[in-house]
């Protein structure tokens, strides 16, 4: 199957694209885009990969679903389009960066600037129906993103995996912790941020590890 995705990821994941589950997933997604308002726009489904090639990936930040309201999702977890009001979890992420690194809260919630530095902003599910959180879960995306993490862990080392909340941490089983750094804490959602997300210092810890392994730190 000819999937439009960045070439290094295409080579890495080519076997997945020909598996029956992925063909079924593709049929489902095409049908959904034909019937409903689906986010992100079709051209941005693989935006996280297109902005962050396999060999450039230094940090993996794992989310769950794309945002399901208008003008938000653009294929990067936790990120919103330029000019869009910050969702609560993103507000808390910026608060932690400010506390951890002393950086002011940015004017834009578009995290493309992170992706271009080597942060793979990966949602476990890459599409969603408008106003219907979780509507594309258990259709095959999770199998695909499991494969992404598994292959990345097998092919690369010295990557920082940032897993916030139990859903993201469940995928941690596929990561080789002997050659990578895994950072875990509660989710930045307002329902859980005060239980250990605030104060986790994941942004400085990630940069310390990158520098220790001879890599350029992320300008968060």
Choosing from 18, 65, 146, 176, which is the catalytic residue? 65
Q: How far is CA 214 from the centre of its chain?
A: 24
Q: Is 65 a catalytic residue?
A: yes
- Residue from 90, 73, 53 nearest 189 by CA: 90
Catalytic residues: 65
């Amino acid at each position: 199957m000819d999937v439009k995705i960045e070439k290094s990821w295409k080579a890495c994941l080519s076997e997945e694209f020909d598996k029956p589950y992925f063909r079924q997933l593709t049929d489902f997604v095409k049908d959904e885009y034909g019937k409903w308002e689906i986010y992100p726009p079709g051209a941005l489904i693989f935006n996280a990969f297109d902005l962050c090639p396999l060999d450039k990936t230094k940090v993996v930040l794992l989310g769950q679903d794309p945002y399901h309201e208008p003008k938000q999702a653009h294929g990067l977890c936790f990120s919103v389009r330029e000019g869009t009001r910050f969702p609560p979890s993103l507000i808390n992420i910026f608060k932690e960066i400010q506390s951890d690194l002393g950086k002011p809260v940015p004017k834009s919630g578009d995290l493309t600037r992170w992706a271009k530095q080597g942060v793979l902003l990966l949602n476990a599910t890459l599409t969603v129906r408008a106003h219907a959180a979780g509507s594309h879960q258990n259709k095959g995306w999770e199998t695909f993103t499991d494969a992404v993490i598994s292959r990345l862990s097998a092919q690369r080392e010295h990557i920082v995996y940032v897993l916030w909340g139990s859903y993201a941490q469940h995928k941690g089983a596929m990561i080789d912790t002997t050659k990578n750094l895994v950072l875990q804490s509660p989710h930045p959602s307002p329902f859980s941020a005060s239980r250990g997300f605030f104060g986790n210092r994941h942004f400085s810890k990630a940069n310390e590890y990158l520098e220790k392994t001879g890599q350029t730190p992320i300008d968060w």
